[in-house]
Amino acid sequence: MNSPCMEIEIVPLQAQHISSVVRMHLKAFPGFFLSFLGPRFLKEFYAAYVNEESSIALVAVDSPGSQVVGAVVGTIQPGGFFRRLVKRRWWAFCLASMDALMRRPAIAPRLFRAVFYRGDAPPTAPLALLSSIAVDPVFQNRGVGRMLLNQFIKQVTDRGGMGCYLTTDAEGNDAVNRFYLRNGWRVESCYITAEGREMNRLVWEKGK
């Protein structure tokens, strides 16, 4: 039997992919905060990982048509990555979020925290951060997410990393949490955001 993903290829994220990745992200995460901030903000978000030395940025493409069907981005050095990003591009993120801020001024505190995000790293040995993974809804449940996740982990370990972490909603997010648990991640801790969202911080560690 042919694999449902045998036509999918994982390649580095390039500038020419970003518009397609943004459209795919908006379809995959309707109603989420980053989606509410809009395409301009998302373009800045994904562009930040292109040609950044510490980043791991990959897309899944449908090989016959080169359609972007998934993406994963992160960094092996979260602290340094976000410090450099804020220093270089804070103004661009602020400009890109103006439309969303005008539509809903109450988001200002959360927007500030998003722009000046530091990664929420666990208090353990340094780990790589998986910032975002998204799959086109048409291609979900076909193994694309697992391919992206496995390739992200491989690149982390190939570059000397001992593991990685991510944060995701704890409530109303069972399928996502199960996905990571099935793939060898564990819940390292839980915390509550300033908006009252209960979050899980999950980690994957080499050899565990």
Residue 126, domain member (yes or no): yes
| pLDDT on residue 2 | 39
Confidence of residue 1 (pLDDT cuts 50, 70, 90): very low
pLDDT tens digits, 150-187: 999 999 999 999 999 999 999 999 999 999 999 999 99
Half-sphere exposure of 162 (CA within 13 A, CB side): 5
Do residues 37 and 113 lie in contact, with contact meaning Cβ atoms separated by under 8 Å? no
How many distinct structural domains can be found in the chain?
1
Residue 142 lies in a domain: yes
119-154 pLDDT, tens per residue? Answer: 788 887 799 999 999 999 999 989 999 999 999 999
Q: How many CB atoms neighbour CB 134 within 10 A?
A: 27
Residue 146 lies in a domain: yes
CB 170 within 8 A of CB 185: no
Half-sphere exposure of 93 (CA within 13 A, CB side): 21
Flag whether 169 is in a domain.
Answer: yes
Q: Are strands 186-192 and 163-169 parallel, antiparallel or unpaired?
A: unpaired
Q: pLDDT band at residue 65, thresholds of 50, 70 and 90?
A: low
Report if pTM > 0.85. Answer: yes
We report the CATH number of the domain holding residue 146 as 3.40.630.30
Q: Domain residues for 137? A: 8-205
Radius of gyration of the chain (CA): 17
Does residue 91 surpass a pLDDT of 90?
no
**25-34: string of b/e by CB count within 10 Å (b at 16+)?**
bbebbeeeeb
Question: Can you give the pLDDT at residue 107?
Answer: 85
Using the 8-state DSSP alphabet, how is residue 76 labeled? S
In a domain, 3, yes or no: no
Residue from 13, 28, 9 nearest 141 by CA: 28
Q: Would you call 121 helix, strand, or coil by DSSP?
A: coil
Confidence of residue 6 (pLDDT cuts 50, 70, 90): low
Segment 9-21 mean pLDDT:
96
Contact between 73 and 56 (Cβ < 8 Å): yes
- Whether 1 is in a domain gets the answer no
Percent of the chain exceeding pLDDT 90 equals 67
2 found inside a domain: no
